[in-house]
């Protein structure tokens, strides 16, 4: 895997956390977006762990890297580390699918197993969202949204579970033995029951997944 973090102290701390797991091989440590992308091209890692803010602009380079890797190396998992629990960052990270993506707050790194577990999860195609981020999102929607998952039918919950694993409508239809049109119908019902009908389509899909994860812990 490749690590990108511009702060020396944080980078060394994260490196040592990763080295506690004998199954994780750290091939490169990077300090900015350009060196990260170069390391990915050179090493072709299974997973990238990156800070959300790095040079050259110290804005959202980790999110930019994740988006670029989605296009160029979709098989690579990305774990984004952040000091910020604003859901907008997580939404942007997951807006093109939650598969192989994780968003962790640096506060959670007090327990090294949180990071190594996230690395393993994205490597096998799953996703991880820091519980504090999910709580913030649900709180922003009045905190009652999460309970609305219980109002979904069993089939709607099946569809939402597949969405939470980053699968698109065609794949969901194939896995659940449904037509794509029926999957779309179920998704529209999910959006309506979760109170997401007024959201932009990509954001309401991601928010539905976050609400589901906040309640089920899947």
Structural domain spans, the chain? 2-137, 142-216
Fold identical between 2-137 and 142-216? no
pLDDT of residue 191: 87
Q: Which fold has domain 142-216?
A: Arc Repressor Mutant, subunit A (1.10.10)
pTM (predicted TM-score): 0.72
| Nearest residue to 209 (alpha-carbon basis) of 111, 73, 96 | 96
pLDDT value of position 49 = 98
Closest CA to 66 of 24, 20, 104: 104
Per-residue pLDDT reduced to its tens digit, 201-211: 656 777 787 77
Instruction: Provide the CB-side half-sphere exposure for 183 (13 A, CA).
Output: 20
What length is written for the chain? 218
pLDDT in tens, 64-97: 999 999 999 999 999 999 987 777 788 888 877 7
67-81, 106-120, 131-145, 196-210: which is most confident: 67-81
2-137 CATH, one of 3.10.20.740, 3.40.50.2300, 1.10.10.10, 3.40.50.150: 3.40.50.2300
Q: What is the mean pLDDT of residues 154-176?
A: 87
Nearest by Cα to 213 from 155, 150, 128, 99: 128
Q: What is the pLDDT of residue 214?
A: 65
Beta strands in 20-154 (DSSP E): 28-30, 47-51, 77-82, 101-105, 127-129
């Amino acid at each position: 895997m490749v690590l990108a973090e511009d702060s020396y102290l944080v980078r060394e701390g994260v490196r040592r956390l990763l080295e506690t797991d004998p199954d994780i091989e750290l091939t490169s440590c990077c300090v900015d977006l350009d060196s990260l992308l170069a390391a990915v091209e050179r090493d072709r890692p299974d997973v990238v762990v990156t800070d959300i803010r790095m040079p050259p602009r110290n804005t959202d380079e980790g999110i930019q890297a994740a988006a670029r890797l989605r296009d160029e190396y979709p098989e690579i998992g990305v774990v984004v580390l952040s000091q910020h629990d604003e859901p907008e960052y997580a939404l942007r990270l997951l807006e093109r699918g939650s598969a192989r993506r994780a968003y962790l707050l640096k506060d959670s790194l007090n327990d090294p197993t949180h990071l190594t577990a996230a690395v393993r999860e994205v490597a096998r195609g799953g996703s991880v969202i820091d519980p504090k981020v999910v709580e913030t999102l649900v709180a922003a929607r009045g905190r009652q949204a999460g309970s609305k998952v219980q109002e979904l039918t069993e089939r709607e919950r099946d569809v939402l579970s597949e969405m939470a694993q980053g699968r698109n409508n065609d794949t969901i239809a194939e896995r659940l033995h449904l037509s794509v049109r029926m999957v779309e119908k179920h998704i529209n019902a999910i959006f309506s029951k979760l109170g997401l009908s007024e959201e932009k389509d990509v954001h309401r899909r991601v928010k539905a997944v976050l609400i589901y994860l906040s309640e089920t812990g899947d």
